[in-house]
Structure 1
Amino acid sequence: MLTNTVRRVGLSVAVAAALTSVAACGGSDDGGTSKGSGKTESHGNSVVKVDPIAALVAVQKKTGQAHSARIEGDTSMGSTMSMKQSGVMDWSDGITGSMKITYTGGTMGDAMKKLGSDGTMEARYFKDGYAADMGETLAQQTGGKRWINYSYDDLEKMAGASGAALKDQMQNSTPEQGVKSLLASGDVKKVGQEDVRGVSTTHYSGTVDVAELTAKNSNLDADDLAAFKKQLADAGITTETVDVWVDENDLLVKKTERGEMKTGELNSTVYYSDYGTKVSVERPPAAQTIDFSELLKEQGATAGAAS
């Protein structure tokens, strides 16, 4: 039970980062090659981008250069899990940051409750992996070690066929990934002007093919990509609708992703604010940390001794 829950937590922590600071799917880095006129119109001293492609290219560039932001959002993945997350992320040199994650439902929430957790945990992200605070329940079984350290190699093994793709995203993607996805989809349109939490924004929307865009934006070999596409098909995932809201400074303010899975709907809503905020993340104390691979060995040894 503990091993399975630890594995699920490791995956959900990665998914939380993928949906908040990167995206659930891949996109093209070459936004400038997307079709579009790039037409602009002058109004007094300001320049208004008429073509959505030209507008989103500017958003991709400006958001990418901002390097850090405060992030808040909620995610539901069918019957698997629903969660809320908030924290800060820096993408100036890989993905680093910290996130408070609260599981509010689904099988993941039930598993956390069975471990004696209230459903809230902290996750810290580093260039080579991430760490999750599992609380006192884990500490009681590991000699005081409440933090589990997951390397990206662990992530690849845990996630099966999609592991290589998720590992690639976590290491190489940045928060403007949703914008890149829209640029690469060829299906982007301007919806209109809307206020988001008191901020005047422009709303853009489009539909992306998950497998196709992951292939365009990843370093996966043919075997990994084929396995990933099969896993997506088995899960019933084909396309996602991605919406972004951007402010007058060409910064991403809000992003939503919606799609269908065999276990239900995928819904993710993320808000971005305080661009340029300072992000400082410390490694958990070594005395309170155990590597995921080491925990599996210990759990296996314990199970063997008990049989």
Structure 2
Amino acid sequence: MKTSTVRRVGLSVAVAAALTSVAACGGSDDKSEGRAGSAVTKADPVAALLAVQKKTGGANSAKVEGTTTMGTAMSMKQAGALDWSDGVSGSMKITYTGGAMADTMKKAGGDGTMEARYFKDGYAANMGSAMAAQTGGKSWISYSYADLAELGGAAGAAMQDQMSNATPEQGLKSLLASGDVKKAGQEDVRGVPTTHYSGTVDVAELTAKNSELDAGQVAELKKQLGDAGITTEKIDIWVDKNDLLVKKTERGQMKTGELNSTVYYSDYGTKVSVERPPASETIGFKELLKQQQGASGSAS
């Protein structure tokens, strides 16, 4: 595997694993402890979603399953369990089904599937035997958020902040800040009776009026969406009788093409246990870059 290919794969995996977690949970910089008491009257969509935001945020963990397409960059499906009580931890099986990311992994000798494990200070991705053959048997690449912030500058710092504070609330916060949310009816989702809410987020029109976000948080939310090239986004959510998020879909246009995401949540409060990969099978991303830079004289 050429030096440039190893570096490109490593960088692609770093971004892809981060995006997978954010897509599954939704990035959030709200560090408040969301706890809800009894359910509120559902006649007012805004009041209902505020209750869902607090109850879901306070549930701390869930099983997550979904599919995401981000234009020409990637299409993928993911399944696993995540805990967001103190940063993000957990594991996800990720399968890339199309786009540039799938092509990159195939060229590197992979089959398009990898496991990502998330920890408070970073995450690790298992790249399989193709990577191990180039790294002395080390199939895992580990990424610390601090290193990504250092290597990626402002973009890396933003990824560190977003990943460290991801919860499933982001779609709710966007809907509340949009000022455009309505109750769309009652539907069953995978056998669970739910209430369906829908709205369109116009990034330029986001406001703190209904969202309990301050002006700075709304500005950050606008920036996150704007950086992805999103100007409008349609968000639908399905909520069970306990004010917990069961399903979320997001549709919009990004710089790389269409954003299309569907995520299901279940088994809230599930115990999430994740172990760091064996050190003998793991190489840090910074170390990998140094090794490849050192070998660049003999690699073409």
Describe the shift of the 1:232–1:162 C-alpha distance in structure 2 as closer, same or farther (beyond 3 A).
farther
Task: Find the counterpart in structure 2 of residue 39 from structure 1.
Answer: none
- Mapped partners of 1:28, 1:188: distance in 2: 21
- Whether the 8 Å CA contact 1:82–1:103 is kept in 2: the answer is yes
Q: Deviations over 1:155-198 (max 9, x none)?
A: 33566654333321211232222212222222222111111111
- Whether the 8 Å CA contact 2:78–2:92 is kept in 1: the answer is yes
Q: State yes or no: 1:17 paired with 2:21.
A: yes
Task: Find the counterpart in structure 2 of residue 167 from structure 1.
Answer: 160
1:1-307 matches, within 5 Å, as 1-23=5-27, 48-156=41-149, 162-209=155-202, 216-217=216-217, 232=226, 236-306=229-299
- Mapped partners of 1:219, 1:298: distance in 2: 40
TM-score by length of 1: 0.84
- The one-letter code matched in structure 2 to 1:14 is A
TM-score by length of 2: 0.85
Q: How many percent of aligned residue pairs carry the same amino acid? A: 65
Describe the shift of the 1:188–1:67 C-alpha distance in structure 2 as closer, same or farther (beyond 3 A).
same
**CA shift for structure 1 position 218:** 8.4
Describe the shift of the 1:273–1:117 C-alpha distance in structure 2 as closer, same or farther (beyond 3 A).
same
Describe the shift of the 1:181–1:47 C-alpha distance in structure 2 as closer, same or farther (beyond 3 A).
closer
RMSD, aligned CA:
2.8
Structure 1 stretches (4+) deviating beyond 6 angstroms? 27-30, 211-215
Secondary structure (helix, strand or coil) at the match of 1:141 reads: coil
Say how many residue pairs are matched: 284
> Unaligned regions of 5+ residues in structure 1, if any?
33-45
- Whether the 8 Å CA contact 1:11–1:159 is kept in 2: the answer is no
- Whether the 8 Å CA contact 2:149–2:156 is kept in 1: the answer is yes
- Whether the 8 Å CA contact 1:28–1:181 is kept in 2: the answer is no
- The one-letter code matched in structure 2 to 1:8 is S
Secondary structure (helix, strand or coil) at the match of 1:304 reads: coil
- The one-letter code matched in structure 2 to 1:115 is A
- Whether the 8 Å CA contact 1:117–1:135 is kept in 2: the answer is yes
- Mapped partners of 1:160, 1:104: distance in 2: 30
- Mapped partners of 1:193, 1:186: distance in 2: 21
Task: Find the counterpart in structure 1 of residue 210 from structure 2.
Answer: none
- Whether the 8 Å CA contact 2:29–2:166 is kept in 1: the answer is no
> Unaligned regions of 5+ residues in structure 2, if any?
208-212
**CA shift for structure 1 position 281:** 0.3
**CA shift for structure 1 position 239:** 2.7
Which range moves more in the overlay, 198-207 or 143-152? Answer: 198-207
Describe the shift of the 1:267–1:156 C-alpha distance in structure 2 as closer, same or farther (beyond 3 A).
farther
- Whether the 8 Å CA contact 2:29–2:162 is kept in 1: the answer is no
Describe the shift of the 1:123–1:56 C-alpha distance in structure 2 as closer, same or farther (beyond 3 A).
same
- Mapped partners of 2:40, 2:288: distance in 1: 57
Secondary structure (helix, strand or coil) at the match of 1:117 reads: coil
Describe the shift of the 1:139–1:29 C-alpha distance in structure 2 as closer, same or farther (beyond 3 A).
closer
**CA shift for structure 1 position 101:** 0.1
Describe the shift of the 1:47–1:114 C-alpha distance in structure 2 as closer, same or farther (beyond 3 A).
closer
- The one-letter code matched in structure 1 to 2:107 is K
